[in-house]
Amino acid sequence: MRRLGLEALAFLAALWAAPRAGALWQALFPEVSRPTYAQDSWFLLLGSHLALSLGAVAAAAVLGIPAGIAATRGGGRALRPVLDAIFALAQSIPPVAVIALALPLLGFGAAPTLLALVLYAALPLLRATVAGLEAVPRDALEAARGLGLSPWQRLVQVELPLARPVMLSGLRVAVTLSVATAAVGAVAGARCLGTPIVTGLANANPAYVLQGALFTAWLALWLDRALGRLAGPGASRSGEAVG
Amino acid sequence: MIRFEGVSHRYGAVEALRDVSFAVPAGTLLVLLGESGSGKSTLLRTVNRLIAPTAGRVLLAGRDVAAGDPQALRRGIGYVIQSVGLFPHRSVGANVATVPGLLGWEAGRIDRRVDALLELVGLDPAAYRDRLPATLSGGQAQRVGLARALAADPPVLLMDEPFSALDPATRRGLQSALRRIHAETGKTVLLVTHDVEEAMVLADRIAVMEGGRLAAEGSPSALLGAGGPDVLRRMIRPELLAFHRLAAIPAGTGAVPGPVSGAPDLPEGASMREALLLMLTAGADRAALPGEPPRHLPLAAILAAAAGEGPV
Amino acid sequence: MRALPALAPLAVAAAAAPALLGWIAAAPNRLLSPRVVPLPESATLAWAAFHAALAVLLLAAARPRPAWLAELAAVAAAVALLATVGLGAAGAVPAGGIARAAPAAGAWIGLLALALATATAASLRGGSPALPLLAALAGGAVLGAAGWLDALSLAREAEGRAPEILAALAGHVGLSLGALGLALALAIPLAALSLRARRIEAGFLAAASAIQAVPSLALFGLLIAPLAALATAFPALRAAGLGGIGPAPAVIGIAAYLLLPLARGLLAGFRVAPPDLVEAARGQGLSPRQVLLRLRLPLGAGVVLGALRLAAVQAVGLATLAALVGGGGLGAIVFQGIGQLAADLILLGVLPLLALSLLADAAIGALAGLVPGGRRA
């Protein structure tokens, strides 16, 4: 835990140092005339990136978790095939396509990215909620019913605590996906750590690209490990790459 | 305490229960005996409203169980199932404390009650209170299940094949624990089993279920006696019939006054069957009964009882 | 009966959306935004066919057999919807003018509902939705080829940019195949080695897992500088097309992401062969390589193909970003559309992308279905 904390401090220190390390960037990219990214404060970009991705995950949780609970209760079970279909469809459409499709509707800026983020983060949360709830031992539920717990009490006192590990690993996937997709949102005008990458690519400035990519990757890796600790040992990361 | 009046239950085309009517007096341990599909579990679950009968009604202490809040009803009834169903994420103590917690008892009272119950079922509270269910053996888990069911001191205890998944030695241990607890607490117990042996060991009364109907109901000795319905007799292997009959007859019934030397001693409340087994083991033809004035039980009395003669 | 609660709401939504939110939106010129117009008579037959197909869908949902009927009905309804939109557009705007027509929100929602219905019916049948969805897209392509969709602004745009789109499509296929090939070239020997040494397996999987957490945009970006440096140091590489900007960072980056699913799939596939069978083969004198080729691979083909399918779909999706680093592909069209805020252009990039993704899924899935141990498509 402490290592994560130290690394976080190092990350923030690097964010502070980056605009001041002109000599370093110039040395790495001698042919670039303006190698130091200074158009936005890195802290602003970080904050915006986190607000976008974590905000989306929060919204996705509000959507996905109750939906997952509903899908495991009586009437909702009939809609399971529709859920499976949505998961299957989502596999075939990369998040960047959804951002692109939302753009004409919502205009430039954070909105289309936010929409794509919420939709894509809701899926692993939904899936994990359903899987976790379905894995609850039936005899524990039967005993709970016989002892006199109401349906709400059964959900809150027995089912959700037992589903928690699976749900947390779903959360991990959702956050990883969200952080990665938020970076791509820079092409749609979202302000985030991906913005220097996109700006650098558009203006043939590899220094910008490197700085943006470094911090984006570092953030993503740190968050992934932090969530891994939260979910506890034995929680697995999904095997899918994040867009 | 419990009364079934014309209880029927059908789902789809299946008639699980057909017009079952009988009463369970307070303080009795009544065994619902039958094969799979006989409707015994279904009948049990009408008492705590896990199943609602399609016809007839069930009365608990004079009140229809269908009236009022089902959760409140269930919190006043103990329920033990075959697979135990302990909550894996909670400690033993927390599991036992489930219903008192639901009823809003204050913490100190709950803690004391948990300790008392663990002792009652034969588990050392200090050793077991904080353990997780995954670390328990089958027998230990079911003891915790029993403690959990008794936690709020319900007047009625429902048990659905509670010991069927355990190995024979563990099963015997829990059966005697249940007998002891029943004697100590005087609760009304309704226990479902398909095992005739278990019924003979535990029951004050037996209700035999066949095809959803009540085939016979009464005390074990009445059902096994010469004049009773042959339903129960049919379920027992002929060579064991006499053996079972003896289990229901107290050793004292055939006792003869006078002490004996060199004879094995019978424990308090032993049945004729226990006396027979004791004599076999010791190679004796009589056994000494406890208490004053001294009495003993001769083998001849056991033979007479087995044949259905003599006082019952 | 099980299908009805799932499919009925979707069928109703598909019918209601265009009725309530409009089939066609038209504008007299490019400057004005399109407004919903009533459906002209030119589309009446298609409209009727659409509703007939929906009725069949509902009927099929209520009966368990035949299992494929619901899917067929949903696909038919989607094609009929497209036909209605196309024919309606032809009636709504004069041919050859500057007026433009596009599907209205209701039509889009209806299409989405039908796509979901198709996928749901497929999953109820226990199969993959890729094939029926491809069938729907193919149906749309047939309509396009027949000229029924010509009045739509999308079709006009496509006609004008056809060579560009095809080039982008070809590029996209090249990127995906290149990345898959590279990943396989690395994963197969590493997986084979991992069979013998647990430590290699652990290290391999750990490294591949770590990459999964890195955003692809960042990974591509990080690869640019070293690749550029390499190309400067070895001009031969630059001549071969491996530079900082170009397909190289994308292909290498995508391959890095594919390593984990491929590695897992290969290892699982290799392990399908029972150990005593392997021992018997070794006893007969087969070298480890022969064991791999003649025993493990055939027996594990199903599992391996399953992993390959996943990897292929991922490759297609990830290749979309290649355009940002100069790698071409359909992403170029999408980003052009983003830059111009032109919905039609974006669609012209996304639709082939979707088709490609589904094609990869269906094709490899079908292959997997032929092999023992593979899941039926």
pLDDT of B172-211, one tens digit each?
A: 889 988 988 998 899 999 999 998 888 888 889 999 998 8
Q: Which residue of A has its CA nearest to B159?
A: A146
CB neighbours of residue B264 within 10 Å = 15
CB pairs under 8 A between A and C: 192
Contact C354/A198, CB-based, under 8 Å? no
Is C376 a residue whose pLDDT tops 50? no
Please, do chains C and A touch (3+ CB pairs < 8 Å)? yes
- Give the three-state DSSP class for B100: helix
Q: What is the pLDDT of residue A233?
A: 58
Mean pLDDT rounded to a whole number for chain C: 87
Task: Give yes or no for a contact between A161 and A153, defined as CB atoms under 8 angstroms apart.
Answer: no
Q: Which residue of A has its CA nearest to C318?
A: A243
Is C61 an 8 Å CB contact of chain A?
Answer: no
Percent of chain A with pLDDT over 70: 95
- Give the three-state DSSP class for C188: helix
Contact C213/A239, CB-based, under 8 Å? no
Residues with Cβ within 8 Å of B185's Cβ and at least 6 positions away in sequence, in order, are: B150
Q: What is the pLDDT of residue C282?
A: 84
Q: What is the pLDDT of residue B228?
A: 66
Q: What is the pLDDT of residue A239?
A: 43
Mean pLDDT rounded to a whole number for chain B: 88
Q: What number is the average pLDDT over the span B293-297?
A: 87
Question: Could you check whether the bond before residue B293 is cis, i.e. omega within 30 degrees of 0?
Answer: yes
Mutate which of B98, B132, B144 to disrupt the A interface (most A C-beta within 10 Å)? B98
Q: What is the pLDDT of residue A49?
A: 94
Angle, CA of B167, B171 and B173, to the nearest 5°: 125
Give C123 or A149, the one with higher predicted confidence: A149
- Chain B residues with beta carbon closer than 8 angstroms to that of A150: 71
Determine, yes or no, domain membership for A15. no
Mark out the alpha helices in B125-268 (DSSP H runs): 125-128, 138-150, 168-185, 196-202, 220-224, 231-235, 238-247
C214-240: b (≥16 Cβ within 10 Å) or e: bbbbbbbbbbbbebbeebeeeeeebee
Q: Which residue of A has its CA nearest to B71?
A: A148
- Chain C residues with beta carbon closer than 8 angstroms to that of A80: 6
Ramachandran bin of B11, using left for φ above 0, alpha for ψ from -120 to 50, beta for the remaining angles = beta
Q: What is the Cα–Cα distance from A158 to A154, expressed in whole angstroms?
A: 5
Is B248 a residue whose pLDDT tops 80? no
Burial class (CB in 10 A: 0-12, 13-18, 19+), A179: buried
Is C131 an 8 Å CB contact of chain A?
Answer: no
CB-CB: which of C228, C337, C346 is closest to A206? C228
Determine, yes or no, domain membership for A194. yes
Is A151 an 8 Å CB contact of chain B?
Answer: no
Tokens of C110: 């209806």
For C:142-171, CB contacts with A below 8 A are none
Q: What is the pLDDT of residue B312?
A: 45
Mutate which of B60, B69, B71 to disrupt the A interface (most A C-beta within 10 Å)? B71
The CA distance from A101 to the nearest CA of chain C, in Å, is 7
Radius of gyration of the CA atoms of chain B, in A: 21
Determine, yes or no, domain membership for A163. yes
Q: What number is the average pLDDT over the span B32-53?
A: 91
Q: What is the Cα–Cα distance from C68 to C124, expressed in whole angstroms?
A: 10
Contact A143/B86, CB-based, under 8 Å? yes
- Chain A residues with beta carbon closer than 8 angstroms to that of C354: 92-93, 97
Is A91 an 8 Å CB contact of chain C?
Answer: yes
The CA distance from A90 to the nearest CA of chain C, in Å, is 10
Q: What is the pLDDT of residue C51?
A: 92
Q: Which residue of A has its CA nearest to B70?
A: A148
Mark out the alpha helices in chain A (DSSP H runs): 2-17, 22-28, 42-71, 80-92, 95-106, 110-134, 138-147, 151-153, 160-184, 195-202, 206-231
Is A145 an 8 Å CB contact of chain B?
Answer: yes
**C375 confidence band (pLDDT: 50, 70, 90):** low
Contact A213/C334, CB-based, under 8 Å? no
HSE toward the beta carbon, residue C368, CA cutoff 13 A: 25
Is B47 an 8 Å CB contact of chain A?
Answer: no
Question: What ranges make up the beta strands (E) of chain B?
Answer: 2-11, 14-24, 29-33, 55-60, 63-64, 77-81, 156-160, 188-193, 205-210, 213-218, 256-257, 286-289, 295-298
Is C222 an 8 Å CB contact of chain A?
Answer: yes
Percent of chain C with pLDDT over 70: 97
Q: What is the pLDDT of residue B28?
A: 93
> C198-212 vs C153-196: helix axis angle to the nearest 10?
160
Tokens of B296: 């003993």
Determine, yes or no, domain membership for A9. no
Determine, yes or no, domain membership for A17. no
Which among C52, C21, C54, C57 has a CA at the least distance from the CA of C39?
Answer: C21
Residue-wise pLDDT tens digits, C263-320: 888 888 888 888 888 888 888 888 877 887 888 888 888 888 989 999 999 999 999 9
Residue-wise pLDDT tens digits, B115-160: 999 999 989 999 999 999 999 999 999 999 999 999 999 999 999 9
**C377 confidence band (pLDDT: 50, 70, 90):** very low
Give C294 or B40, the one with higher predicted confidence: B40
Mutate which of A25, A50, A82 to disrupt the C interface (most C C-beta within 10 Å)? A82
Q: What is the Cα–Cα distance from C309 to C305, expressed in whole angstroms?
A: 6
Q: Total structural domains in chain A? A: 1
Percent of chain A with pLDDT over 90: 49
Angle, CA of A103, A106 and A108, to the nearest 5°: 60
Which subunits count as partners of chain A given 3+ CB pairs below 8 Å?
Answer: B, C
A119: containing domain = 42-242
The CA distance from B211 to the nearest CA of chain A, in Å, is 25
Is A230 a residue whose pLDDT tops 80? no
Q: What number is the average pLDDT over the span B100-126?
A: 91
Q: What is the pLDDT of residue A240?
A: 45
Q: Is beta strand B295-298 parallel, antiparallel or unpaired with respect to B256-257?
A: antiparallel
CB-CB: which of A82, A201, A242 is closest to C215? A242
Is C226 a residue whose pLDDT tops 60? yes
Is B54 an 8 Å CB contact of chain A?
Answer: no
CB-CB: which of C338, C358, C361 is closest to A103? C338
Determine, yes or no, domain membership for A26. no
Is this prediction's ipTM beyond 0.90?
A: no
Q: What number is the average pLDDT over the span A76-94?
A: 84
Mean pLDDT rounded to a whole number for chain A: 88
Q: Is beta strand B55-60 parallel, antiparallel or unpaired with respect to B2-11?
A: antiparallel
The CA distance from B81 to the nearest CA of chain A, in Å, is 7
Contact B89/A161, CB-based, under 8 Å? yes
Percent of chain B with pLDDT over 90: 46
The CA distance from A224 to the nearest CA of chain B, in Å, is 26
Q: What is the Cα–Cα distance from B51 to B42, expressed in whole angstroms?
A: 7
Q: What is the pLDDT of residue A232?
A: 63
Is A137 an 8 Å CB contact of chain B?
Answer: yes
Residue-wise pLDDT tens digits, A174-184: 998 999 999 99
Is C154 a residue whose pLDDT tops 50? yes
Is B68 an 8 Å CB contact of chain A?
Answer: no
For C:324-353, CB contacts with A below 8 A are 324-325, 331, 334-335, 337-338, 341-343, 346-347, 349-350, 353
Determine, yes or no, domain membership for A128. yes
Q: What is the Cα–Cα distance from C284 to A170, expressed in whole angstroms?
A: 47
Determine, yes or no, domain membership for A21. no
Q: What is the pLDDT of residue A242?
A: 46
CATH code at A118? 1.10.3720.10
Q: What is the pTM of this model?
A: 0.82
Contact A143/B145, CB-based, under 8 Å? yes
Q: What number is the average pLDDT over the span A63-89?
A: 87
Please, do chains C and B touch (3+ CB pairs < 8 Å)? no
The CA distance from C39 to the nearest CA of chain A, in Å, is 23
Is A188 an 8 Å CB contact of chain C?
Answer: yes
Q: What number is the average pLDDT over the span C35-39?
A: 86
Instruction: Name the residue type at position A150.
Output: S
